[in-house]
Amino acid sequence: MLSSSETPRAATAETIGSFKALLLDMDGTLVNSDAVVERVWRGWAVDHGLDPDATLKVVHGRQGYATMAVLLPDRPMAQNHAENRLLLAQETADLDGVVPIPGAPAFMDAIADLPHALVTSADEGLARARMNAAGLRIPEVRVTAESVGASKPDPEGFLKGAAELGFDPADCVVFEDSEAGITAARAAGMRVVGVGPRAAAFAPDAHVQDLTRLRVTADATGTAVFASA
């Protein structure tokens, strides 16, 4: 089993670890929404005289207002929140190219009877739109943008997800793709499985290229056990 102090590594045929609850990021982890994110945020960057490529390095994992605060640090936060509402509406309406991450449908089926929650920087409307577009079941327990006062990389969302499921942070594993999300999970005292090419650079406890590389079982105590496929 991995602890948070162990050296990060790519998942091989070895066991990743045993956990009691799962906390799942959405974009980049369960759903590939990169096409929409790039369209919307490249347009936003151009409108504000910013480098689109540099902007996209900040966007992933954060709520929109938090991205704006990083890129336009002198702008009033109220303006960021107002503009974020407009971008959320654009992203919710634009589902072209939204698809499941490889292995996501089978992964969601495999964990259906295990304690799990969606913890996403999307709001409820965007989360439902993208999960539906990708053909994925929406977890009953969800921590969305409306549920928290601070965006990832703040750990609030993951801590709230663990609390709603009734487990200590140390008993939870997070599935994430972004630097902001992995940082938030670590700050929450949780172990992290990085999913996809972005995640490898940010020191998750284990890393897989996609969800086809994982299998999920349960031991006699009901604890979820994850190993690379």
User: Catalytic residues, which ones?
Assistant: 25, 27
Helix, strand, coil percentages, rounded to 5, for the chain: 40, 20, 40
Nearest to 225 by CA among 17, 24, 12: 17
Quote the Cα angle for 161-149-59, to 5°: 85
Instruction: Please report which helix (H) or strand (E) contains residue 18, including its range.
Output: strand 15-19
CA distances 23 to 46, 54, 82, 91, 137, Å, are 34, 29, 29, 23, 15
Pairing of strands 9-10, 142-143: unpaired
Q: What is the DSSP letter of 119?
A: E
